[in-house]
Structure formats: structure tokens, C-alpha cells
Chain A
Amino acid sequence: MKLTRRDALALALGATAASFLPLRAMASSDEVIAMFTGGADVGAGGLTLTAPEIAENGNTVPVSVDAPGATSIIVIATGNPTPAVATFNFGPLSGSQAASTRIRLAGTQDVIAIAKLADGSFVQASSTVKVTIGGCGG
């Protein structure tokens, strides 16, 4: 097919527009992690991620994170359409660097937590959560 000048211009404009789409709309787990860690190495240990092995219902899954001495903890659902779930930033009057919440999981997947520790280093913990579609009324 012969590309007219009009078509070529439209194509070029479209490509440029796409490159300006907000990163958040297209962010993958890796990109979310990179935005949090700035690309630094991520170790292990000192961070507990609690999530059920089988979620009663993917709409409301209780999870907790705990990283003594952390300044912030991010939770990422690697199998969700938008992987970022929450970022907990602990202030001077936090009693512990722990938090619990309830999240939505689109399907069986790994849930990852990454903590930024006081010394600026990062550690990660991961948990596989099975999410099922129920029987009747599910």
C-alpha cells in the first residue's frame, strides 16, 4: 500500500503522542519497582509480608507488611492490570513500621513488598496468593 504524505504525518504524530502517555497508565511491575528503588539493588530479610495462601475472595484480600526501621514500604500486585497497590510512608510518630490493609487481586499472582530501610538500602519479600472464582454466587 502506498503511504501518502497525510498517512505518514498521522503515523508520526500518533507515535509521538503515544510516547507522552503517563508512565503510570502503562507501568509494569518492573517499572513500578524501578520508580521506588531508583534502580538500586534489592536484597532480602528484615521485611515480613503476610498474605493468605488462598484468598476467600479476590475483591478483599487482607495483607500486612512489617519492616522494623523502614522509612517506607511499597506493595505491588504483579498480576494486576495496574501493579502498584499502596505505598506506606512512616513518619516520626509511627509506633512501628508496619501496616495492614485489604487489597484487590485480579487473579492468582505474586504479591511483592519492598521496604526502603533507614540506611537507604532496599529489601523485598514476596507471597503467592491463589485467587479463585467461586461456585454459585461467585
Chain B
Amino acid sequence: MKKNMLRMAVALSSILGTAAVADEGANLVINGDIGITVRAPASAHLDNLDEVLSGWLFRADETQVMQMDDFDNPGMIWVDAARDQFAAVEGGEGKSCASCHNSPEDLAGVKAVYPKWNEEAGEVRTLQMQINDCRVSRMGAEAQKTDHKSMLYMEALMASVSRGMPVNVAIDGPVQSTWEQGKDIYYTRYGQLELSCANCHEDNYGNMIRADHLSQGQINGFPTYRLKNAKLNGTHSRFKGCVRDTRAETFKPGSPEFIALELYVASRGNGLSIEGPSVRN
């Protein structure tokens, strides 16, 4: 079984004392049966990349192993909590998510196409925005802030039921101008350090930045359980941190800038599998 072979490889490499950089030939299979595409040909719109790579490939062996089993993956404990929330009645209308959507599994495939255009509202929506819309207009419940815990857990649940499905975010039609805005932000240098997303994640993925192994910055694995803060993290919170780390005034989670950036960055990962909740540094 691939899982056992990887475990053996991990154990062997620990005994042999090899450096803890990821085995870049490794494949990711979760629970022995969910195959995750961790490397895929880059989409046509990507001029500077031939291949897109999941962040999983850039992590140490021990971290990779943590994502291969839903029990070892600490992020899954909040997926369970979100399952309870999915079935719980909330708000004035006496409904739960389950009242309309039946079960989380029925929403498989949804995460893979977000962010996307909402015709009725005339705007690009992230998954959290759509969940909030359901809460407010259909459940009579309050909207939650971006990356609020319960939002994040629900997004993680949505990701978990879509694992293995290819990211397939639209970049043309009504979303095009937002997508262009996101692309613009991706290539703009920010802050005292004058760094753009591309400087690290396109020009230098695979290299070390101090002691961190730089990935391509794909978000197919979000929400992600970070070892650093031992909790689930959302894309906007991560973007906020990255921009802050260039020593710039950063944008707010839920801002138009980050909605556009999330759309663009998600599209860079088209072809990779939805992987969340992933385990990262």
C-alpha cells in the first residue's frame, strides 16, 4: 500500500538522518483511498510556470505524513465540529444547512469552483461570502466575519468533501475584471521589502527563505492547519500575514483586494486537487 511505503520511507529517512526536506517524487493518497493530484500542468494563463505544485510537496516528511490520515490530521477535528454545525438549527427561520442541503457530501464539488460569480448579486463571491448569504437570507442568522472560527470550520468541511476533485475556477466572463485585479495585486511589489507574491512563490519556489522551504503559494489546501499556530487558517488571513511580512500596510480579510487575490491565486492552482484541510508549517 502506498501509505505504508511512504511511512516506511519516512521511518527509514529518520533513521538514516537525511535532511527533512520533502520527497518531491512522493504522491499523496489520503486514508489509502483519496488520490490527490499534487502536481499538474500549469494552466494556459500562467506564463511563467510549466507545472503547478501543491504545498504538500514542500513540507518535511513528518508533516506530509500527518495529512495522509484523517485521524492524524488535527484539522479534521474541526471538520467534525462543522458537521455538527451543519445539522444544527440556527437563526430565526428555524433551519439548519441540512434543511436545504441534506448532507455535507451533497455539496461535493462546490469548493472546487469558488471564488465565482454570483449572477443575482452581481459580484464575485468567495465560499465564505456565499455561506453568509445563506445564513442571512435563508436562515435568518447573523453573518460572520471573514475567517471567523465557525466560517473557517465550515469551509474546511466543504473542502474535505471535495478532496481529490480538481480545482476549476473560472477566469473569464463576468469575473474577468476581478481576476485581472487579483493578477495585478499578485505581481505588485509591496512594503518596505518591496516584495510581490511572485517574487517568492513564482521566482523562488523550492528555495529556502531563511529556514522556510518556499512553496508555490497555491491555496488548493486551504483552510490549512498550521503547525506554527496549531489551528485552521483561512486564505485571507494568510494573505494578510504575507503582505504584513513585506512590511506593508496590509489589506483586511474580506476586502475587495483579497477577494480578487483569492480568485486569482485559486485559478493558479487549476488542475491540482482540492486538498483541504491540509497540514502545513
Q: How large is the interface on A (under 10, 10 to 19, 20 to 34, 35 or more residues)?
A: 10 to 19
Decide if A60 touches B20 in the complex (CB within 8 Å). no
Decide if A50 touches B11 in the complex (CB within 8 Å). yes
Decide if B214 touches A135 in the complex (CB within 8 Å). yes
Bound Cα distance A133, B208 (Å): 12
B49-71 contacts to A (CB < 8 Å) = 59-63, 65-66
A45-59 contacts to B (CB < 8 Å) = 50-57, 59
Decide if B210 touches A52 in the complex (CB within 8 Å). no
Decide if A135 touches B20 in the complex (CB within 8 Å). no
Decide if A137 touches B241 in the complex (CB within 8 Å). yes
* B198 sits at the interface (CB 8 A): no
Bound Cα distance A30, B210 (Å): 34
Query: Which residue of A51, A54, A137 is within 8 Å of B228 (Cβ)?
Result: A137
Decide if B14 touches A134 in the complex (CB within 8 Å). no
* A138 sits at the interface (CB 8 A): yes
Decide if B209 touches A135 in the complex (CB within 8 Å). yes
Decide if A57 touches B228 in the complex (CB within 8 Å). yes
Decide if B230 touches A60 in the complex (CB within 8 Å). yes
- Kindly report which residue of chain A lies nearest to residue B210, judged by CB atoms: A135
Decide if A56 touches B230 in the complex (CB within 8 Å). no
Decide if A57 touches B209 in the complex (CB within 8 Å). no
What residues of chain B lie closer than 8 Å to A137, measured between beta carbons?
212, 228, 238, 241-242, 245, 281
Decide if B211 touches A135 in the complex (CB within 8 Å). yes
Q: What are 22 A-B pairs with beta-carbon distances under 8 A?
A: A50-B15, A53-B17, A53-B20, A54-B19, A54-B20, A55-B20, A56-B60, A57-B281, A62-B62, A62-B65, A133-B210, A134-B209, A134-B210, A134-B212, A134-B228, A135-B214, A136-B200, A136-B242, A136-B245, A137-B228, A137-B281, A138-B211
